[in-house]
Amino acid sequence: MAKSAPAISLKGLTKNFGSLAAVDHLDLEIASGEFFSMLGPSGSGKTTVLRMIAGFDLPSSGTVELDGEDVTSLAPFDRDVNTVFQDYALFGHMSVFENVEYGLKVRKIPKSERKRKVMEVLDTVRLADLAERRPAQLSGGQRQRIALARAIVVDPKVLLLDEPLGALDLKLREQMQIELKQLQRELAITFVFVTHDQEEALTLSDRIAVFNNGKIEQLGTPQELYEIPKSEFVAGFVGTSNIFNEEAALTLFGKRGRFALRPEKVSVSDKKKAGSVQGVVSEVIYLGSFTRLIVDVAGIHIKATVPADVFHRNQTVQINMSSTDLVVL
């Protein structure tokens, strides 16, 4: 049997703004049904990629294929994708029902069918009882859910989400993350999610592309990116890492090269053990469920994750690090 085409395939995709390559010869395939995130700092090109997939921006060169069909020059409404924007872009003068109905009206779906579809989708996002309200009469989380309902009501094959949870407070954001993941599983459509929040990307995604300067630095599952970052940029952007340069690596491990080591792989004790090195706690950062220590060993600052309330500043401690936990950069 022939392998089915990827939901999205980008080939040599480039977008120049003057002399700036906002997106630089990008090759990427996203499988059907995948929850795919584009993660990166502000200005790294994520939104520009999304806008080219949606058809809001034309590439300077390269192609966008959806389900094996070249759509590079098709208008946004001729593509089987829909977008949820960070500011939701809801129509303030329309009710929740009318906001969600809009896309079906534009597609000339008959009225009775529209009503059935809208109520079904509002049910999915648990807003059926608020159908007559206007967006201004809703909370941030509820507005977010209408934006989702409005995007999924037309049954797109691909849903593009541009920092959709950025405007929500932390607690609501965490709740919406779970809802998004459940929704994606239920609908089995491809989600392409843009975020600069690494924790959010790790929580939600099947795979993540880490962007830097218009290029993908690394592509992988959350676990691969966390466990085996290929560059200092990824090691620093996805989670927290110790980065040891040549000199530090030689001093601490007698090894040549540049390495990353996660703080949870550094064990700290007040007793000397085989292979331990002595250091002094220079900083104690309380982070709720755990505490981060900065330990000074021969002038090298080492981050370690420890339980709360065990160590204090200026305390002399023994730390153990195994060279098998080092990740080569």
**Binding-site string for ligand ATP from residue 159 to residue 188, where x marks contact by CB under 6 A and - marks none:** ------------------------------
- The distance of closest approach from Cβ of residue 51 to ligand ATP in the complex, given in angstroms and rounded to an integer, is 8
**Binding-site string for ligand ATP from residue 45 to residue 74, where x marks contact by CB under 6 A and - marks none:** xxxx--------------------------
- The distance of closest approach from Cβ of residue 191 to ligand ATP in the complex, given in angstroms and rounded to an integer, is 17
Nearest to 80, CA basis, from 64, 94, 91, 95: 64
> For residues 51 and 114, which CB has a smaller minimum distance to ligand ATP in the complex?
51
Residue 75 token pair: 């208008």
Quote the CA–CA distance of 329 and 243 in Å, as a whole number: 9
> For residues 57 and 101, which CB has a smaller minimum distance to ligand ATP in the complex?
57
> For residues 83 and 124, which CB has a smaller minimum distance to ligand ATP in the complex?
83
Q: Which residues of 203-236 are buried (b: 16+ CB within 10 A; e: fewer)?
A: ebbebbbbbbbbbbbbebebeebbeebbebbbbe
Q: DSSP labels for 283-309?
A: EEEE-SSSEEEEEEETTEEEEEEE-TT
Is residue 101 classed exposed, middle or buried when 0-12, 13-18 and 19+ CB atoms within 10 A define those classes? Answer: buried
Count of beta carbons in the 10 Å neighbourhood of residue 185: 10
Name the one range near ligand ATP by CB under 6 A: 37-45, 64-72, 119-127, 222-230: 37-45
> For residues 33 and 166, which CB has a smaller minimum distance to ligand ATP in the complex?
166
Quote the CA–CA distance of 81 and 162 in Å, as a whole number: 13
Q: Which residues of 242-257 are buried (b: 16+ CB within 10 A; e: fewer)?
A: bbbeeebbeebbeeee
Count of beta carbons in the 10 Å neighbourhood of residue 106: 10
Residue 327: CA count within 13 A, CB half-sphere? 21
Helix, strand, coil % over all residues of the chain, rounded to 5: 35, 30, 35
Name the one range near ligand ATP by CB under 6 A: 14-22, 177-185, 224-232, 272-280: 14-22
H runs (alpha helix) in 138-221: 140-152, 170-187, 198-204
Q: State CA 286 to chain mean position distance.
A: 26
- The distance of closest approach from Cβ of residue 273 to ligand ATP in the complex, given in angstroms and rounded to an integer, is 44
Cβ-proximal residue to ligand ATP, closest one: 47
Q: Which of 6, 40, 59, 156 binds ligand ATP (CB under 6 A)?
A: 40
> For residues 101 and 163, which CB has a smaller minimum distance to ligand ATP in the complex?
163
> For residues 30 and 249, which CB has a smaller minimum distance to ligand ATP in the complex?
30
Under the criterion CB under 6 A, does residue 17 sit at the interface with ligand ATP?
A: yes
> For residues 26 and 306, which CB has a smaller minimum distance to ligand ATP in the complex?
26
How many residues touch ligand ATP under the rule CB under 6 A: the total is 12
Under the criterion CB under 6 A, does residue 42 sit at the interface with ligand ATP?
A: yes
- The distance of closest approach from Cβ of residue 211 to ligand ATP in the complex, given in angstroms and rounded to an integer, is 6
Nearest to 166, CA basis, from 241, 86, 232: 86
Q: Which of 44, 82, 144, 218 binds ligand ATP (CB under 6 A)?
A: 44
Which residues on adjacent β-strands are paired with residue 295? Answer: 281, 302
Name the one range near ligand ATP by CB under 6 A: 39-47, 76-84, 235-243, 300-308: 39-47
**Binding-site string for ligand ATP from residue 188 to residue 227, where x marks contact by CB under 6 A and - marks none:** --------x-------------------------------
Q: Which residues bind ligand ATP (CB under 6 A)?
A: 17, 20, 22, 40, 42-48, 196
